[in-house]
Amino acid sequence: MMPPECCLCDLPGGTDNEFNLVYFASTPEVKQWQHKMEESGLTGHPPNAAWFCQFHFPAADQLSSLPIDQAMTELKQDGSWTIYYLDFFDRETPPLPHESGFGLAQGLALLWRNSMDCTRGGTEKYPLNGYHLEWSNRRRITIPPINDDLLRLGQLVHQVEDPLPLCMRLGHLHADSIRRRKDDQFDCHNECDKLLELCGKEETVASLIERLDSLIRDIERDWPT
């Protein structure tokens, strides 16, 4: 069996990260592999199984009735994204591609991390640069203009040596709120404002992580409609 490592992102294994093994639909190739393993007495990683982190597991689990190749194609296509760098000082500069990938939660996590880097001064409410994310060529997602909650959140994130796991929590909650909205109800600033309202007033890194984990555990009840 392969070690637990998400096949959709680079979130590393460790005590703070949970991973789930998803078994996708069996196929003639999978049955042939199982037969060979039984005959030889060997063990190995099933070809229809893959590890997913806690942020990508829900979407993968919903596609577990599909063959793994088809499920992975749908996961990658549905979640493809590009983050663009915005130059607010020179408004004539077009948005520049900054990084791309797939998995909406991961893309939003990186958007939050990059956007909060713009608050690193601690009091800068009018940064010279920013970012937006374009998701699957359908939606443009931006973080609202910097406010006190975002500044406070940025200050906490900057205290962490590796902010990605914390930002992945933000990305997971943000992605869930977007996926549960119909296209005609989607408002990227509204979703961000709700997330900041829920966790932007925490005063320590520990309380912020506890709050985010609580929201993730019971997202349907805690997320306002």
Per-residue pLDDT, averaged over 70-99, amounts to 82
Span 168-191, pLDDT tens digits? 888 888 887 777 765 544 566 677
Q: Are residues 94 and 59 in the same domain?
A: no
d(CA 38, CA 194): 52
Q: Are residues 70 and 94 in the same domain?
A: no
* CA 25 vs CA 29, 44, 65, 67, 77: distances in Å: 11, 17, 5, 5, 19
Considering Cα of 132, then 136, then 139, then 144, what sign does the dihedral take? negative
Selected residue with higher pLDDT from 29 and 147: 29
Per-residue pLDDT, averaged over 195-222, amounts to 79
Q: Are residues 88 and 71 in the same domain?
A: no
d(CA 199, CA 184): 26
- Is 8 among the domain residues? no
Q: Are residues 218 and 132 in the same domain?
A: yes
Count of structural domains within the chain: 2
Span 120-154, pLDDT tens digits? 654 455 667 888 898 765 578 888 766 777 778 88
- Is 213 among the domain residues? yes
**28 confidence band (pLDDT: 50, 70, 90):** very high
Q: Are residues 33 and 132 in the same domain?
A: no
Q: Pick from 29, 53, 76: which residue ends a domain? A: 76
Instruction: Compute the radius of gyration of the chain from its Cα atoms.
Output: 20
**pLDDT in the model for residue 32:** 92
**pLDDT in the model for residue 121:** 53
The domain of 32 spans 19-76
